[in-house]
């Protein structure tokens, strides 16, 4: 597997005409700044991005082959690569089992077996490793980050990369594995659980070929790294629409759901939640209980967040009488000290920091909801929270609402390691999953 992610040399097989898949992959690898050898291979010859296009690959030393030629020519190319001792091959080309051409896919599987070649694909969008600037894919190049994303659907992968770019969200690895004629989710998770760049593993699946293999693998992976899954094909119409509904682990979504719970995989319902949860897990891998505090200068959003937390099974309890008295003696009157702690117009950096620090011992996590006014400087509040976070050693989540008035504050939060979410409700969803993950790790699965 290592050569898929850290090859010394990559050969790309495909048309090198502008706009064609082969051309776009070479462009991505070159522009992405890959430091190893890059061999574009095409009968056309000529040059591309300052590289000579090889007509012949006999004498090339190839760690990783990326194939984007028409499907009917792939078996003989694979034979040649096998004879050369190439062990890692990505097949981007479509035209296999996804269009009913099962025979052709069986053919390449047989050749791969004969030469011990590992294949990612066919019908996939490729592989990225941001650590070594390898972008063996036609998709938008991922930013550097700590989440590994593996996806069955290539076009969903592309959409995720574009959404992530807009959010400034980065990835350690990206793998679109398509028809998974060989390398599958379980193989990838096994590799990623020991990848030091990856803190969180996120998976998009429509159906599994070998469910038991994945679930057994995930049980091993779980103690090392949290796994987030988006599983599509819940409804009957949705299953009909997945290409892989035949031969999947089970026809019914609730069986997946139970299996995810049993193995401690965190299921999310859409891509937005996947981003939210990944960002949370990068900063906070544990939340040791379900007592949540909300500190705010805005009643409305705090009430809505309280509702969401309680709906999700978390609690928003009042502070102890002694804590309440301590707070009362140090804060202006009228401030609500019953949790949510509503600082009203007294939401200064000092007061936000004071309350967060004072209440930390009685809660497992704190959500700070801040709505800016003309009087309040979001950067100052972010800085103060960053300092408090270091002292209290409890997770702080933020929802600085919204727009240009808090833009700098949110940048400051990022640099202090405090994740910010558009709404407090989104903080609540993330916290609930991390609490669940923590309880899973302690052996309390299914909680």
Binding mask 35-54 for a second copy (x = CB under 8 A): --------------------
Binding mask 218-257 for a second copy (x = CB under 8 A): ------------x-xxxxxxx-xxxx--------------
Q: Does 409 bind a second copy (CB under 8 A)?
A: no
Cβ partners under 8 Å of residue 408, min gap 6 = 378, 379
What secondary structure letter does DSSP report for 73?
A: G
User: According to DSSP H, which parts of 207-270 are helical?
Assistant: 211-221, 236-241, 253-263
Q: Does 339 bind a second copy (CB under 8 A)?
A: yes
Q: Does 153 bind a second copy (CB under 8 A)?
A: yes
Partners of 397 in the beta sheet? 367
Cα separation of 86 and 13, whole Å?
14
Share of the chain residues as helix, strand and coil, in percent rounded to the nearest 5: 45, 20, 35
Residue closer to a second copy, measured from CB, 98 or 131? 98
Least spacing, CB of residue 393 vs a second copy, in Å: 25
Per the structure block, which two tokens stand in for 263?
């193995």
Cβ partners under 8 Å of residue 237, min gap 6 = none
Per the structure block, which two tokens stand in for 404?
């240009």
Report yes or no: 397 and 421 within 8 Å, Cβ to Cβ: yes
What secondary structure letter does DSSP report for 46?
A: S
Least spacing, CB of residue 113 vs a second copy, in Å: 27
Least spacing, CB of residue 388 vs a second copy, in Å: 22
Note if the bond before 151 is cis, omega within 30 degrees.
no
Least spacing, CB of residue 11 vs a second copy, in Å: 21
Residue closer to a second copy, measured from CB, 7 or 340? 340
Candidates 156, 327, 392, 447; binder of a second copy (CB under 8 A) is 156
Question: Restricting to residues 5-24, which ones interact with a second copy according to CB under 8 A?
Answer: 19, 24
Per the structure block, which two tokens stand in for 392?
């209290």
Question: Restricting to residues 72-131, which ones interact with a second copy according to CB under 8 A?
Answer: 94, 99
Candidates 65, 425, 435, 437; binder of a second copy (CB under 8 A) is 425
Least spacing, CB of residue 317 vs a second copy, in Å: 8
Helix (H) or strand (E) holding 11: strand 9-14
Rounded-to-10 torsion of CA 231, 235, 237, 243: 30
Q: Does 403 bind a second copy (CB under 8 A)?
A: yes
Residue closer to a second copy, measured from CB, 86 or 398? 398
Question: Restricting to residues 269-308, which ones interact with a second copy according to CB under 8 A?
Answer: 269-272, 297-304, 306-307
Q: Is the dihedral of CA 398, 401, 402, 404 positive or negative?
A: negative
Note if the bond before 402 is cis, omega within 30 degrees.
yes
DSSP secondary structure, 318-369, as one string: PPPHHHHHHHHHHS-TT-EESSSEE-GGG--HHHHHHHHHHHGGG-SEEEEE
Size of the site for a second copy (CB under 8 A): 74
Question: Restricting to residues 163-192, which ones interact with a second copy according to CB under 8 A?
Answer: 163, 165-166
Residue closer to a second copy, measured from CB, 112 or 239? 239
Q: Does 345 bind a second copy (CB under 8 A)?
A: yes
Q: Does 152 bind a second copy (CB under 8 A)?
A: yes
Question: Restricting to residues 311-330, which ones interact with a second copy according to CB under 8 A?
Answer: 311, 315-317
Least spacing, CB of residue 47 vs a second copy, in Å: 21
Residue closer to a second copy, measured from CB, 99 or 216? 99
Could you give the angle at which helices 102-115 and 74-84 cross, rounded to 10 degrees? 10
Q: Does 140 bind a second copy (CB under 8 A)?
A: yes
Strand, helix or coil for residue 3 = helix
Residue closer to a second copy, measured from CB, 333 or 443? 333
Residue closer to a second copy, measured from CB, 148 or 230? 230
Least spacing, CB of residue 82 vs a second copy, in Å: 29
Question: Restricting to residues 373-402, which ones interact with a second copy according to CB under 8 A?
Answer: 373-375, 401-402
How many Cα atoms sit within 13 Å of 177 on the Cβ side?
28
Residue closer to a second copy, measured from CB, 34 or 400? 400
Using CB atoms within 10 Å of the CB of residue 103, give its burial: 0 to 12 exposed, 13 to 18 middle, 19+ buried. exposed
Residue closer to a second copy, measured from CB, 283 or 341? 341
Candidates 5, 169, 204, 275; binder of a second copy (CB under 8 A) is 204
Per the structure block, which two tokens stand in for 22?
């082969």
Least spacing, CB of residue 252 vs a second copy, in Å: 13
């Amino acid at each position: 597997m290592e050569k898929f992610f850290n090859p010394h040399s990559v050969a790309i097989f495909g048309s090198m005409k502008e706009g064609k898949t082969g051309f776009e992959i070479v462009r991505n690898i070159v522009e992405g700044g890959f430091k190893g050898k890059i061999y574009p291979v095409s009968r056309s010859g000529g040059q591309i991005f300052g590289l000579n296009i090889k007509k012949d690959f006999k004498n090339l030393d190839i760690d990783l082959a990326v194939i984007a030629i028409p499907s009917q020519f792939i078996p003989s190319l694979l034979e040649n690569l096998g004879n050369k001792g190439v062990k890692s091959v990505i097949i981007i080309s479509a035209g296999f089992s996804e269009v009913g051409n099962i025979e052709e896919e069986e053919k390449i599987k047989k050749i791969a077996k004969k030469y011990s070649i590992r294949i990612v694909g066919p019908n996939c969008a490729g592989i990225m490793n941001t650590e070594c600037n390898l972008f063996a894919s036609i998709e938008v190049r991922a930013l550097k980050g700590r989440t590994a994303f593996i996806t069955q659907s290539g076009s969903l992968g592309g959409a995720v990369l574009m959404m992530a770019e807009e959010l400034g969200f980065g990835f350690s690895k990206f793998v679109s594995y398509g028809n998974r004629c060989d390398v599958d989710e379980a193989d990838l998770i096994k590799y990623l659980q020991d990848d030091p760049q990856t803190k969180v593993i996120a998976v998009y699946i429509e159906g599994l070929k070998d469910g038991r293999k994945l679930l057994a693998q995930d049980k091993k992976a779980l103690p090392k790294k949290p796994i987030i899954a988006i599983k599509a094909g819940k409804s009957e119409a949705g299953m009909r629409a997945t290409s892989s509904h035949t031969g999947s682990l089970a026809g019914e979504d609730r069986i997946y759901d139970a299996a995810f719970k049993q193995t401690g995989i965190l299921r999310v319902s859409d891509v937005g939640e996947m981003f939210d949860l990944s960002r949370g897990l990068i900063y906070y891998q544990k939340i040791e209980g379900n007592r949540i505090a909300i500190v705010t200068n805005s009643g409305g959003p705090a009430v809505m967040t309280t509702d969401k937390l309680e709906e999700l099974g978390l609690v928003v309890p009042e502070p102890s009488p002694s804590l309440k008295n301590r707070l009362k003696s140090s804060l202006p009157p009228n401030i609500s000290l019953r949790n949510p702690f509503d600082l009203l117009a007294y939401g200064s950096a000092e007061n936000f920091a004071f309350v967060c620090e004072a209440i930390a011992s009685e809660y497992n996590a704190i959500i700070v909801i801040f709505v800016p006014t003309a009087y309040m400087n979001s950067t100052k509040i972010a800085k103060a929270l960053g300092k408090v976070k270091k002292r209290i050693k409890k997770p702080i989540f933020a929802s600085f609402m919204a727009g240009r008035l808090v833009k700098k504050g949110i940048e400051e939060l990022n640099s202090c390691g405090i994740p910010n979410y558009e709404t407090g409700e989104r903080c609540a969803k993330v916290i609930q999953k991390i609490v669940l993950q923590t309880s899973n790790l302690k052996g309390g699965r299914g909680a």
